Amino acid sequence: MSATNDRTSHYKTIQSTCYIANTVYIGLRIFYFIVFLIAQVYPLVWYTGATILFYFLCYFLIKKKKYYPYALLCGNEYFAYIIVTTLLVGFSSGFYLYLIGLSVTSFFATYFSKNHRIGGSIIWAAMSIGIYLTLYFVTMHNAPKYFIESWMQTTFMAIHIVVAFLFVAFYLFTFTRYALSLEKKIMLQSRTDELTQINNRYGLYDYFAQEDNQSTKALALFDIDDFKTINDTYGHVAGDFILKRIAELMKNTLADCFFCRYGGEEFIVVLDSEGCYEKLEAFRKAIENEVITYEGNDHRITITIGVAKYKKDMSVEKWIKIADEKMYSGKNSGKNKTVI
């Protein structure tokens, strides 16, 4: 996965989360608008109407990818709304429960921000605690300005409990899903050879950890004959080009096998032992007949392959060692051959 694709996934997660959250905010404010209208709490009717307009305008910020200003504006707006509604209709309405969601949101925003400064989230969490305690003690000694019916208070409290938990669950779910996706990408990248984009030796050990039946398998180890001469004569960039071309040929001719770059110019292929010699010989001849052109220079290369069939209770290291010994036997007896 390239860095560009990672950034695209990162910002796609942020944008989709912002769109969903903003739509939920509008839905809640429309609900409040209707309830306050029924309760005839007109200051909150007008205030809530203004916030609905505010959140519709926020779609413009999201579209322009102004995520930090959006998060900052929404956070401050929610602080203000919590304070005003609690003071006007009372603590028992449960608007303060949004403070829990705001704390979680602040840490979520920090993770997806560019600078990852945790200090801002701690400040937001501290502000949430401070506002909660202030509202609690103020409302203990001061009656709300507007008395709403008990069924409305109960409805508000029930809705805010549910919404607060959903708030937390939504952001944690989004974060967890993104983190698991990122973990999967990192695992894949750690097991992929950067140059050739095929498995590396860590991918090989992963393959064996998941492969239950090795008794029918053969392991082939090969490298490019006289590869050092190519590097010394034409440079390592030319050598890298040839290694990438070898990987492409493996993808084309050994697609049903497991293969990896084991290190340097060494590659490993794991395939069914039945018919493995014929399959590997066909691959070796394809390499021999391939003309690799780089910067005007034609390169004809050969490989020597050592093959070891699996034996009972054989360790992976021992298996590779036997294949390596067979490959060097082929090197010492003329190169460009498959030894089994």
The whole-number pLDDT of residue 114 equals 66
Does the pLDDT value for residue 167 go beyond 90?
A: no
Q: Does one domain contain both 25 and 61? A: yes
Half-sphere exposure (Cβ direction) of 159: Cα atoms closer than 13 Å: 14
Whether 182 maps to a domain, the answer reads: yes
pLDDT at 149: 87
Are residue 130 and residue 35 in the same domain, yes or no? Answer: yes
Confidence of residue 5 (pLDDT cuts 50, 70, 90): low
Residue 67 lies in a domain: yes
Comparing 100 with 56, the larger pLDDT belongs to 56
Same domain, 218 and 289: yes
The predicted structure's pLDDT at residue 260: 95
Same domain, 180 and 205: no
- 288-297 long-range contacts (CB < 8 A, ≥24 apart) are 288/336, 290/245, 290/249, 292/241, 292/242, 292/245, 294/234, 294/238, 294/241, 294/242, 295/238, 297/234, 297/238
Give the end of a domain, one of 161, 190, 219: 190
Q: What are the tens digits of pLDDT across the range 317-336?
A: 999 999 999 999 999 999 99
Query: What would the two tokens of residue 152 be?
Result: 């409305």
Q: Tell me the C-alpha distance between 167 and 56, whole Å.
A: 20
- Using CB atoms within 10 Å of the CB of residue 19, give its burial: 0 to 12 exposed, 13 to 18 middle, 19+ buried: middle
Residues 134 and 237 in one domain: no
Choosing from 142, 167, 190, the residue where a domain stops is 190
Q: Are residues 78 and 124 in the same domain?
A: yes
215, 263: one domain: yes
Q: What is the pTM of this model?
A: 0.62
Do the domain assignments include residue 284? yes
Report the distance separating Cα 58 and Cα 314, nearest Å. Answer: 63
Pair (152, 300) in one structural domain: no
Pinpoint the alpha helices (H) of the chain: 3-39, 42-63, 67-89, 98-112, 118-141, 150-190, 201-210, 227-234, 236-253, 276-289, 316-332
Asked, for residue 150, whether it belongs to a domain, the answer is yes
Is position 196 within any domain? no
Answer yes or no: is 227 within a domain: yes
Mean pLDDT across the chain, nearest whole number?
89
Instruction: Assign residue 244 the CATH number of its domain.
Output: 3.30.70.270
Query: Is the Cβ–Cβ distance between 190 and 202 less than 8 Å?
Result: yes
Same domain, 142 and 252: no
- pLDDT in the model for residue 1: 45
145 pLDDT more than 50: yes
For the chain, the domain total comes to: 2
Torsion of CA 18, 23, 26, 28, to 10 degrees: -100
Tokens matching residue 67: 């995520």
Does 253 fall in a domain? yes
Distance set, CA 81 to CA 45, 78, 84, 109, 161 (Å): 12, 5, 5, 20, 17
307 close to 295: Cβ distance less than 8 angstroms = no
Boundary (domain end) residue, out of 155, 170, 190? 190
For 240, the domain range is 201-339
φ, ψ of residue 73 to 5 degrees: the values are -65, -45
pLDDT surpassing 80 at residue 64: yes
**26 in the same domain as 126:** yes
Tell whether 195 is covered by a domain: no
Per-residue pLDDT at 279: 95
Pairing relationship of beta strands 303-309 and 338-339 according to DSSP bridges: parallel
Please indicate, yes or no, whether residues 115 and 16 belong to a single structural domain of this protein: yes
One domain for residues 205 and 181:
no
Q: What is the pLDDT of residue 4?
A: 52
